[in-house]
Amino acid sequence: MNSKKSICLYFQVHQPCRLRLYRFFDIGKDSHYYDDFANRTILKRVAQKCYLPANEMLLELIKKYNGKFKVAFSISGSVLEQFDRYQPEVIDSFRKLAETGCVEFLSETYYHSLASLISPSEFKRQVQLHRSAIENYFGHTPKTFRNTELIYSDAIGSMVYEMGFKAMLTEGAKHVLGWKSPNYLYSGATAPKLSLLLKNSSLSDDIAFRFSDRSWSDWPLTGEKYLSWLKTSVQNDEIINLFMDYETFGEHQKVQSGIFDFMKYLPEVIINDGTFEFVTPAQAAKKHKPIAELDVPDPISWADEERDVTAWLGNELQNDAFHKLYDLTEKMSLLNNEALWSDFGHLQESDHFYYMCTKFFSDGAVHKYFNPYDTPYEAFINYMNVLSDFILRVNEEYSLSSVNFAAGMQKGSGKTRTGKSSASKRKTTKKEESK
């Protein structure tokens, strides 16, 4: 019997398709929504500072420790598209990691969306789209699910289990756990066979947020100090889940802070000590058994002190934009227009709603750092201008499809026409949509 405790190290990789300054007078005239310059510039910068050097570092660690060092990633479809477009060598570096057999690629929503909170059909469509993308890029069929921003509820857990996943990551939220420890596996209350891995927030955030803070009482953080915290935290428990943004390395925590040196040294300290072994989420779900069911009636996430979804849906602006977008779901399901479906997906990215957040108190600095807009109201106005144009396009395509359908029925040919021909017509007459 393996008596070693487990460490599960997971990284999120995502970059949104940022919207350009889209004015009221652009509505109905120009349907290219994205700030291509900003997206290219930021993607290339983060690739050079984080993705490429961090992937190289992890590959060296995996080789150095002969497979004893393991990590997991979830990589959104939105960032995969940008890698392909602007920095394809990042894809190659992830493929090298995939070939080691020591890296697990998790499933998530293709567009890093909040669909799980409102539209089961769109949620499932995006999960399948993402699963196919991971298989195509890395030859890896995801076994573990990680929802956008670690969002989880009993209802979401049931959907995830129905899609064939046996394990899922989420936040070890204190208001859900109560006295219980996050350092065990749990099971879903409505999906008892779904294993839940809970983020240890304190130990994860020591690296992700506090590492370079010189005012932090525990600065500087060393490998030995961190190992002592790991051992103190786990004691009679079984597993520590360290979940964080991959951009922690080189982007949020600059290379000058020593974050790369810390990460290069940490596996040596942990492996030599012998208390822990590194596992992927799928391995953790096999190795450990859930100790109790976790009852989560309301959605939780890894954001802010509240660990709920108010970072994205906490004010009227966000909810207005969110519901207007998803009101289009039924019409979209009747259309067969690739350009519209792509824009529909990118407009669902959680980042757009995050930019509208007005919670500038407990986590204000975090919200401002990631926000390209001066105010949440600017973010809202810009998004709604884009959405207004998108709604016009959807309604036009829907009308064309309805006309074609009716015409097909009248001909009595026995075959009804889909919106495909009108989609083709739209794409040839609207030059701005072929991006």
Enzyme catalytic residues: 149
E-strand stretches of 344-399: none
Phi, psi angles (nearest 5°) of residue 168: -150, 145
Angstrom CA distances, 317 to 33, 322, 323, 380, 427, stand at 20, 9, 10, 6, 32
Q: Are 11 and 73 in contact (CB under 8 A)?
A: yes
Q: Which two tokens stand for residue 159?
A: 């959907």
List beta partners, residue 168.
145, 196
E-strand stretches of 67-194: 71-75, 103-105, 144-146, 167-171, 185-188
3-class DSSP state of 42: helix
What is the per-residue burial (b if ≥16 Cβ within 10 Å, else e) of 253-292?
beeebbbbebbebbbebbbeeeebbbbbbbbbbeebebee
Q: Are 123 and 159 in contact (CB under 8 A)?
A: yes
